[in-house]
Amino acid sequence: MARRLGILGGTFDPPHIGHLVLADCAIQSLALDDLLFVPAADPPHKLSTRVSIAHRLPMLERALALDPRFHLSRVDIDRPGPHYTVDMVRIIQAQQPDAELFFLMGSDSLRDLNTWHQPQALIEQVRLAVMRRPEADVPLSIHAALLPRLEERIVVIDAPRLEVSSTEIVERLRAGKSVRFLVPDPVLDYIETRQVYRD
């Protein structure tokens, strides 16, 4: 059987328990062998990150060390931008030619999929593993006219609906509030030791 490989992209600014819970649920729901975390160096849908990759990368490495099924991919860090998902998936496909790929996304991202760069090419390369989000539930047929085969390329993940966001975590840090249990302990130690997000 082909190796089943999940892909989770993001800024991870900072990485938090929501990322790890989603990854664990995806591995269980999809019977994945491994899951790649792909930190974005220059995400086209966001103006900027809060902190540079020089901080985001070591924080993510500390979070991923908690589970041997989690792995870091530098595919977007080590190449010039702009960084589009379809290009990232092509590179991972070339690196893992025998793997079946599953790209993890929220239903909010599915809602906006038609605005992505070459969305049809993306769904031909990879299965979309969609985690439903209560604030952005969308019918799976939403893009059927524009993106043929989309529905058959989607699998829905059952995952706890955790209301945890990087934005809220950073706001709490800047207000001097605790974020214990919202981020893994090794990430919290990094943030506190280096005073990340405090200014």
DSSP string, 38-66: EE-SS-TTSS--SS-HHHHHHHHHHHHTT
Domains in the chain: boundaries: 3-163
- Whole-prediction pTM value? 0.90
CATH H-level, domain 3-163: superfamily: HUPs (3.40.50.620)
Q: Is 187 helix (H, G, I), strand (E, B) or coil?
A: helix
Q: Is the pLDDT at 182 greater than 60, yes or no? A: yes
Segment 80-88 mean pLDDT: 91
CA 43 vs CA 47, 119, 176, 188: distances in Å: 8, 16, 28, 24
| Phi and psi, residue 105, nearest 5° | -155, 160
Q: Are 82 and 46 in contact (CB under 8 A)?
A: no
145 pLDDT more than 70? no
pLDDT at 178: 95
pLDDT above 70: percentage of residues in the chain: 89
DSSP 106-175: EHHHHHTGGGSSSHHHHHHHSEEEEEP-GGG---TTTTTTTSTTTGGGEEEEP-------HHHHHHHHHT
